[in-house]
């Protein structure tokens, strides 16, 4: 099953990082967050990616063009220019890098990939968040419900701790946990090809236009994920993810 990564946005709320590179290339543990997302999908057997490029897409292209040589030991003859690969430990991924326009909205980026995605079910996610959602279970859930689209519903992490009170007595205290109620769009979509009929063109916003229409027609189901999920909207988020990575065993690292 093909995987679309939406990687063309401006990332204005993370301007400290995105002035020089697109948000999916902001690094966590010395690797871009888009790499972490792709490792997650590949762990569940999904390894053909279509990266919808836009803002500073050349940075993403360069990363993957150089990926092979960056991750191998090399022997180089400076006199003759011959290059010998001494070992090879690269990902078994097929990466399609498609320019979908600098000003195209999220729905429009998906529409521009129509000819490459064909007539099969496909997956979509954003290039700026990580989770430990079971992707095989997500696909199974989508197939069982028989709708055009499945969205992963998550409980957003709280920026502040929470507590319950009985009078002036604290009965529960939690430091920056998941919000207890309320679900939001966590990305990690599964779509049928019919989704294209709900996208008019470049100006279509997936969230505000396409998904709303699907809701009206009863064609959007939610797969609830109550475990780890974290977007990277701000520098605070970036630092939090970096801390989790450096401490070891970050929750989204489902691969070995």
- Note whether residue 206 is domain-resident: yes
Q: How far is CA 51 from the centre of its chain?
A: 10
- Note whether residue 112 is domain-resident: yes
132 pLDDT band, cuts 50/70/90, is very high
Quick one: which H or E segment has residue 212? helix 211-216
Q: How far is CA 193 from the centre of its chain?
A: 20
For the chain, what is the mean pLDDT?
91
Relative to beta strand 149-154, strand 184-185 is: antiparallel
User: Which tokens sit at 93?
Assistant: 């991924």
- Note whether residue 24 is domain-resident: yes
The alpha-helical segments, DSSP class H, found in 100-196 are 106-112, 114-117, 135-145
Q: Which residues contact 234 (CB under 8 A, 6 or more apart)?
A: 13, 14
**For the chain, what percent of residues have pLDDT higher than 70?**
91
Please tell me the predicted confidence (pLDDT) of residue 175. Answer: 60
- Note whether residue 254 is domain-resident: no
User: Which of the two residues, 181 and 109, has the higher pLDDT score?
Assistant: 109
User: Which tokens sit at 248?
Assistant: 């070891």
Please tell me the predicted confidence (pLDDT) of residue 86. Answer: 86
Please tell me the predicted confidence (pLDDT) of residue 170. Answer: 61
Q: How far apart are the first and last CA of the chain?
A: 22
How many structural domains does the chain have? 1
- Note whether residue 238 is domain-resident: yes
User: Which tokens sit at 157?
Assistant: 């992490």
User: Which of the two residues, 162 and 191, has the higher pLDDT score?
Assistant: 191
pLDDT per residue as tens digits for the range 84-101: 888 777 799 999 999 999
Quick one: which H or E segment has residue 55? none
CATH of the domain at 67: 3.90.550.10
- Note whether residue 256 is domain-resident: no
249 pLDDT band, cuts 50/70/90, is confident
Compute the C-alpha angle 215/13/100, nearest 5°.
60
Q: Residue 149: helix, strand or coil by DSSP?
A: strand
- Note whether residue 253 is domain-resident: no
Domain that holds residue 192: 2-247
Residue 113 CB neighbour total at 10 angstroms: 20
For 237-241, the CB contacts below 8 A with 24+ separation are 237/14, 238/14, 238/17, 238/26, 238/28, 241/28, 241/33, 241/130
Q: Residue 165: helix, strand or coil by DSSP?
A: strand
pLDDT per residue as tens digits for the range 9-28: 988 888 888 888 999 999 99
Q: How far is CA 70 from the centre of its chain?
A: 23
């Amino acid at each position: 099953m093909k995987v679309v990564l939406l990687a063309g946005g401006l990332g204005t709320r993370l301007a400290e990082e995105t002035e020089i590179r697109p948000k999916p290339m902001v690094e966590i543990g010395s690797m871009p967050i888009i790499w972490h997302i792709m490792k997650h999908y590949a762990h569940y057997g999904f390894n053909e990616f279509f990266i919808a490029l836009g803002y500073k897409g050349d940075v993403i292209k360069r990363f993957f063009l150089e990926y092979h040589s960056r991750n191998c030991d090399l022997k180089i003859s400076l006199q003759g220019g011959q290059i010998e690969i001494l070992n090879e430990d690269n990902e078994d991924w097929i990466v399609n890098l498609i320019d979908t326009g600098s000003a195209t909205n999220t729905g429009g980026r998906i529409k521009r990939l129509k000819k490459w995605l064909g007539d099969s079910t496909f997956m979509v996610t954003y290039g700026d968040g990580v989770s430990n959602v079971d992707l095989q279970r997500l696909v199974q859930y989508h197939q069982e419900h028989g709708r055009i689209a499945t969205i992963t519903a998550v409980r957003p992490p709280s920026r502040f701790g929470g507590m319950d009170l009985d009078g002036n007595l604290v009965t529960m205290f939690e430091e920056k946990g998941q919000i207890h109620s309320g679900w939001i769009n966590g990305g990690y979509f599964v779509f049928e090809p019919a989704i294209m009929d709900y996208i008019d063109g470049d100006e279509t916003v997936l969230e505000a236009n396409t998904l709303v229409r699907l809701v009206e027609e009863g064609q959007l189901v939610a797969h609830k994920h109550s475990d780890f999920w974290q977007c990277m909207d701000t520098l605070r988020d970036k630092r939090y993810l970096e801390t989790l990575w450096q401490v070891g065993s970050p929750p989204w690292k489902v691969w070995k």
